[in-house]
Structure 1
Amino acid sequence: MDMAHIFSRSCQICRRNNVTILKLPPHTSHMLQPLDKAAFNGMKVSYDQNLVKWQRDHPGDILSKKDFVCLLSKVWETYLTPSMIEKSFKSNGIFDLSVPMRVNPSVTPHSKFEPDKLRPYEEKKRNKREKATS
């Protein structure tokens, strides 16, 4: 099957449903994926520690799906709490719930983008502003 055809069809479906496809600029995922920084990192470390403990307590056993879910749920409840999620976003400067409904617009500075790729977006934004004021 032709992948270009599948991608083209996917884009058409997205357009019909008002879905915007964004490509992350290179080397910005640490800024744009805040849960990786605090919540998932702590979760990974804790899961690894729990897995090592489980392996010591069950020498030679194969981790079953049931045991995996039990181990994962322990760390999930600890690290994917609303306060940890908020901390993740706040530490990246993306969103701070202590400032009501304020999103930091400079999380990804324009210097991180390729100018040629940013230009169409800026022109579209400028056109929208001009239409709104006219």
Structure 2
Amino acid sequence: MDGHSSHCSNVELLDYAVANDVILFCLPSHSTHWLQPLDRSFFKPLKTYWSKTCQNWVHNNPGRKLGRLQFASLLNAAWCKAATIQNGTSGFRTCGIYPFNPEQIPDYVFVLDKVAQVQENLNPEKIPSRGKMKISTFQMSTDKMSLQLTMIVRTEIHSKTFYRFLA
């Protein structure tokens, strides 16, 4: 799950995880598309198979509406084609999760693009000046929940800087 507060504030989920020895790992915000195996290897083939399956159904059933039973049947057919062991293992490998390979994800992905939200202070009285040149000032604010859920640890792995995010 990503570190969004709505995903981490469900007390029942947290209690269930603790009771069942499940470790919930919060991924860095705005990086889940790089770190979720299904996003990397399953959903694109599923979308492709779904599209082909629907096109075939429409071609073979002109003028008919797609009902619930047909929908479920078509989704099942597409799902069975996409949900292969090869696609599953490929997703973990592509994300660098297993086998562990931080080289799979470029460094720039781990730069938090929204650690702070910068808002320019437009109050003219608060803008210092140096001669004729005005200097803009900025107010910084951070997402408190994001900072509480995410700790950045810098480590050297394979002589490359890699950021691990730990909840």
TM-score by length of 2: 0.50
- 2:62 aligns with 59
Partner of 1:44: 47
Report if the CA contact (8 A) 1:43-1:75 is conserved: yes
Residues 112-127 of structure 1 correspond to what in structure 2 (within 5 A)?
112=111, 116=147, 117-118=150-151
Larger radius of gyration: 2
Aligned equivalent of 1:98: none
Paired residue total: 111
Q: Secondary structure at the match of 2:30?
A: coil
Matched ranges for 1:98-109 at <5 A: 102-104=99-101
Provide the TM-score with structure 1 as the length reference. Answer: 0.59
What is the aligned partner in structure 2 of residue 90 from structure 1? 93
Contact 1:34/1:88 (8 A) holds in 2: yes
Give the unaligned 5+ runs of structure 1: 96-101, 123-134
Give, in whole Å, the separation in 2 of the partners of 1:18 and 1:31. 26
Q: Is the 8 A contact 1:30 1:37 kept in 2?
A: yes
Q: Matched residues in 2 for 1:8 and 1:71: separation?
A: 36
Structure 1 residue identity aligned to 2:151: L
Identity %: 24
